[in-house]
């Protein structure tokens, strides 16, 4: 299945800006690669690149955590500490990118609790899933 990829308002304004500044030209290529990966989101699970965290009661929305690497770097996807939180809307064939962050952008004590709190605060429509 092919999905439309949409970046959430918070994702665009916050951590993506840091990646663009830090990695300059490599970030543009990485962003294009992420869009391609999320366009075919179902394949992420076949490759064990994504992990489902929450599912809506009607099974139409899955909130997932994925890992990614910066294009052109030698660091692996897992070793990079770079993550995306996405919401896969199967009924609408849409993937919403909610957060794009480096593990160091969040408090190390409980990464999952931290990003869940950000999603709840910034995207009220996903609050019931968290």
3-state secondary structure 60-72: CEEEEEEEECCCC
Which residues in 49-60 are b (16+ Cβ under 10 Å) and which e?
bbeebeebeeee
pLDDT score for 18? 83
- Give 118's contacts (C-beta < 8 A, 6+ positions apart): 10, 99
Q: How confident is the model at residue 118 (pLDDT cuts 50, 70, 90)?
A: very high
- Give 43's contacts (C-beta < 8 A, 6+ positions apart): 37
Asked whether the whole model's pTM tops 0.85, one would answer yes
Cα–Cα distance list, 108 to 26, 92, 111 (Å): 26, 34, 6
pLDDT score for 130? 81
CA distance 53 to 91: 18
pLDDT score for 81? 83
Q: Exposed/middle/buried for 62, CB within 10 Å: 0-12, 13-18, 19+? A: buried
13-56 per-position pLDDT tens digit: 888 888 888 888 899 999 999 999 999 999 998 888 899 999 99
- CATH classification code of 4-129: 3.30.2310.20
């Amino acid at each position: 299945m092919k999905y439309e990829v949409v970046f959430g308002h918070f994702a665009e304004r916050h951590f993506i800006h840091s990646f663009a500044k830090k990695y300059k030209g490599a970030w543009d290529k990485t962003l294009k690669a992420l869009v391609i990966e999320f366009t075919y989101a179902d394949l992420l699970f076949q490759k064990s690149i994504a992990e489902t965290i929450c599912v809506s009661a009607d099974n139409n929305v899955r909130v997932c955590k994925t890992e990614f690497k910066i294009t052109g770097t030698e660091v692996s996807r897992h070793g990079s500490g770079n993550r995306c939180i996405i919401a896969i809307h199967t009924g609408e064939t849409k993937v919403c990118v909610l957060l794009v962050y480096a593990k160091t952008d969040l408090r190390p004590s409980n990464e999952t609790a931290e990003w869940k709190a950000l999603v709840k605060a910034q995207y009220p429509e996903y609050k019931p899933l968290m």
